[in-house]
Chain A
Amino acid sequence: MLWALIFFVYPVKFNGYFESEFYTEKEQNPVYWNLYTPKNYIEFKVSAHPIGGGELYISFNGLSNSNGTQFFFNQGHLQLNRKHSSLAIFAREDRYWVQSPLLFLVNQDRLKDDNFGPKGEGVRFDFWDTYGFFGTGLASKYKSWDGEAYIGRIGRNFGKFLTLSYMYMKKDWRGGKEPSFNKINSGYLRLHIYRTLYLSGEFANAVHPNQPEGDSVTFMDKSAIQIELRRVYFKGFNISGSYFNYGKYFIDEMSNKFNPGFDHEFGREGIYGEILYLVPYKAINILYKTSRYRSWYDYPVLLSSPYAVSWNYGEIYAEFKKGVSAKIFAERTLNKKGDWRHIFFQIQGENTRMKVKLQYKIKDIGINIQKKDNDYSIGQRSILGTEMWINLTGWLQFYMRGALGNGQGLNWNTLFAQIAIRKFQNSEIFIEYGDPGATDGDLVNDPDISDFPYQKIRDRFKILLKYWF
């Protein structure tokens, strides 16, 4: 009670988290059980809200493992909040989100200098609802190398009818090829037409040192545009569609989408469509998505003429009585490298005592590696996976997930099991067996199990203690 009084009356909060981990694993050669150095981790969080709209947050951690014991600063910010604005100086935080609804020009991970944890530091200013205007200014320093990122965005809402905005972004670095920066200018427009129907468009132009010079490179080659019509509602059908044209040399290192090191989606022109049908009076959704476009890249090679790509995806999701649901989807991609077909089934049941999920996926249907009809695949394979939660008592829970893979001449498997004890307040104890990593991305859809035919059950036991204070 006394503690509660202190922490709620005073504008400062101390919180923390402690974790202790012991694990042992069976090494293969020579065979023996290796007991790893126990890991102890403690994290403190301090937040203060002194008067005047100021805010301070810092977190720091202590880590004890085979490297010894050390204390480190995790992340923190100093912030000034006003009714329609905020100013923050931050370190190592995820504060880079800026709206780019169609082209996704900003990706937080590309700005926060994220390699084994964010390291970027910067300042961010936001304002909103100021005579209809809104905006963001952001300047950030990459800390593990010499460079900076700047983003400025300003826009105005004309009631609900029209939104307009302009954004300027620049990533700056030292030396190398001139210009030593990547600059983006972009504009966004959204028009409300009728009820749920909106027309929106986003256009961006890039400057990057890797763009070639010369008359053959047009302005549109360095630009990207996307126009979207969202949510035409007609008798239970929701229809959306968009047209996009991403220039061959539209490079945006602050995004994932147009980043050569990540999704490199530049050099594409095409359409995207989506139909969602909600079956009346039934808990059934039917979804169809398609995309057709021409691509200039067999990445990283720029081709002399584009080739066609089509992608189709159909899904039925249904919920039945007594907590049972099912999902089926089929997906097909046709591109320069082949014809890729997958099919997926899932059934799930749930009650107060337990929850069970069963998944089955057949991937790369029809591809036979014996015939060498595709160099890019390990061939058709099927993966069966299951995941279950069982509440043994009010405080004891059993959890398990595992998968079996069956391919052409190969079998593989993975298993993870856990007993969770939540008997004590603010704490959790876990006893674990196996490898959690292979199926943590939605079971059989995780590439670690669907694309990696050498997974084996790992003999590994782990005891984990977690405590919050």
Chain B
Amino acid sequence: MISKFFVILLIGLPKGTDRGVLFTYFAPDAKSVYLVGDFNNWDTSANPMEKDNEGLWKIVIPLSPGKYQYKFFVDGRYEADPTNPITEGPYGNSVIRVGENFRVLPPKMSNNTPMNSYVTFSAKAKGFLSIDRDTTGSYRLFNTTTDVRMGVNVNVQDEATLKAILHYNTESGQDPSTHQIPFYFERAKLNFDKGNLHFISFYNTFAYQSPDPITIIGKVNEFDYPLGRDEEGILTKIEKPASYSIHALYSNSLSTGRDLGFVRISRQKGVLYTAFFTYINHGDNIEYQVVSPDSEKVNDSTLLHFNTYEDRVLFGLEFGEKDLMTYEFVWGKDIKRANYYDVDGTKTQNVPINRKWDIGKIYRFRTMYGKKTAFVYSDVERHVFDSLFSAKFGKSYSTFRLGAKLSSKRLNIEISQNFLFAGKNSTKWDALFREIDITRRKYIEYPLMGYARYTYLHAATHKTLLKRLTITADFSTARFALNQPPRADEILLTFNLPLGRVGTYYDLRYFHIKSSYLNTDRDFFDHYLELYYRPAENLKIKAGYGFYPYNLLDEHTARSEYLWNTGIGLSQIASNFRGLGGLIEEGENIIAKNREIRLWLELSF
């Protein structure tokens, strides 16, 4: 076994994907690039490659297991793959070995070593410095950071695979006493596949998405949404396509300590399917601090501070026609323990005034009709409480949501209308908390008394003009129809203009928030301009000005993530006494002032 185990670095080799092997060739100035090889009898017109915005030509080819020679046919010339050091033959053809499921294997060293077991490494390194004004108004070197992620991939006989990432970032995590920078184990995933059995163990990584087809309308904690990154656990799947599947999951949240168990058994016959699931959620510890809606004006002494521990047990039944329609019935119990406090803002003391248990019931019915590209959905839910908050607030509430989503290559539109009904004198605290947690929409302040309506619209499109300039537009709006209506509109426009190895990127964002309750009616603009030079596929130098919309740790995380981190997150709500609307303003003001100059160097292999 050991003799078959081999360590190699797969630098720049084509990569395996779900659909085939991805070949790339970086040539921003080329007019046409074709992939040629012994798999297409060196036909110079069979496999044309497509160029992306920055001049990287790509094509995915489903290749069966075996060894192949290939080259790129670039504007009438044959070119070997410059990033693949393995060549063969008198013409220096590039060589690739492909295994099962389009997996790219290291080169075969001899006939006696099958090379199905190997270790590969990859890395992505970024360095940047930013220049910004200090309090006196003069420009200074504000920050320098180096960030490196190293990936280690282990494959054992194509049955077990391990992917792990080691990470350091000189900006964060430095030990102030020694000024040493820890290199930490960021995430890992171990897969074991044998026939219909799949076993996955994961640490701090994307974990699981339910096969439940209503993936668009559900709740974060109930799997219609992929489990977030901060999860560790194990998942076992037994699947026979078009027949049955059994999923069993245990997952623990690294940030909140929440434990979650889920079992789903489904059976498919023809296009019809039916499924049963059970779900147990234990120990969500969530803190909320919200301006009391019972108060006439914003005042620190009217804040309420909740600390809840939620356990939930659900049983569900689904049936429908696969990829067309789904009906889902859920019945369950909510078991809550909660402390809530009056907060004295001036003395910054929390005084517990009550501690209660609550056992409530949940009834839910959901349905979806349509294809993945266009569908409508509806969602009815009723919660009944025994005692929690009932002395002060209502005993039950119901929600009804109706939505539609349309997705195409160029356009994505989603619209939903959400209604809340609650008993007399109810302030629907529970519904409020749930909404904040589920949608994480920064513009929700709170639903108020009685009846509430919430409209959400999101539309996104992109278009390439003059063969080079790509414009992306993203619009979203959220409105409450309440007695004190808050409203938020957001438009994001991005322009990408690549010119050979250099290019420019610009993004402009408009954000408007209106809240009579907070006496706020503000417009915010921010923008970011970037010039880049990309001398090679794996190397990029960038200079940017403005508010950098993506964070270092997770590339292309949207601005909302930034807002979430800088001022609008739940944890910030817990430590800030001004309510959500104020926090939004604060976050936006931070962004508006953030006009730094950045210089980047990025390298990956």
Instruction: List residues of A whose CB falls within 8 A of some B CB.
Output: 2, 6, 9-12, 14, 46, 48, 50-54, 56, 58, 60, 70-73, 76-78, 80, 87, 89-92, 115-117, 119, 121-123, 139-141, 143-144, 148, 150, 172, 174
Contacts and interface: CB of A to CB of B under 8 A. Distances in A.
Interface size class of B (residues with CB under 8 A): 35 or more
Contact of A91 (B140, B170, B604): B170
B592 interface: no
A56 B147 CA distance: 12
B463 to A, nearest CB: 31
Given A50-B11, A89-B127, A122 B144 contact: yes
25 contacts: A10-B85, A11-B11, A12-B11, A46-B150, A48-B11, A48-B123, A48-B603, A52-B535, A52-B539, A53-B535, A53-B536, A60-B183, A73-B148, A78-B125, A80-B535, A80-B541, A87-B601, A89-B129, A91-B127, A91-B146, A91-B170, A122-B144, A123-B144, A139-B141, A143-B174
Contact of B143 (A6, A14, A141): A141
Contacts of B184: 71
Interface in B123-176: 123, 125-129, 134, 140-141, 143-146, 148, 150, 168, 170, 174
Contacts of A72: 180-183
Contacts of A174: 134
B179 interface: yes
B121 interface: yes
Contacts of B128: 89
Interface in B535-570: 535-539, 541
User: Nearest 6 A-B pairs (CB), nearest first?
Assistant: A52-B536, A89-B127, A121-B144, A54-B539, A91-B146, A71-B183
Contact of A54 (B7, B179, B599, B603): B603
B197 interface: no
B140 A10 contact: no
Given A71-B182, A87-B541, A144-B179, A50 B85 contact: no
A172 B140 contact: yes
Contacts of A150: 141
A90 B126 CA distance: 10
Given A72-B182, A73-B181, A80-B541, A6 B170 contact: no
B548 to A, nearest CB: 16
Given A10-B11, A60-B183, A121 B603 contact: no
Contacts of B123: 46, 48, 56
Interface of B: 6-9, 11-12, 82-83, 85, 109, 121, 123, 125-129, 134, 140-141, 143-146, 148, 150, 168, 170, 174, 178-184, 535-539, 541, 599, 601-605
Contacts of A70: 180, 182
Contacts of B603: 48, 50, 54, 56, 78
Nearest to B174: A143
B170 A54 contact: no
Contacts of B146: 76-78, 89-91, 121
B179 A50 contact: no
Contact of B538 (A50, A89, A139, A141): A50
A115 B179 CA distance: 9
A123 B129 contact: yes
B144 A141 contact: yes
B299 to A, nearest CB: 37
Given A51-B83, A73-B182, A78-B125, 6 more contacts: A2-B6, A10-B8, A52-B536, A89-B129, A92-B170, A121-B170
Query: Of residues A46, A89, A121, which shows the largest number of chain B Cβ atoms within 10 Å of its Cβ?
Result: A89
B83 to A, nearest CB: 7
Nearest to B128: A89
Contacts of B143: 141
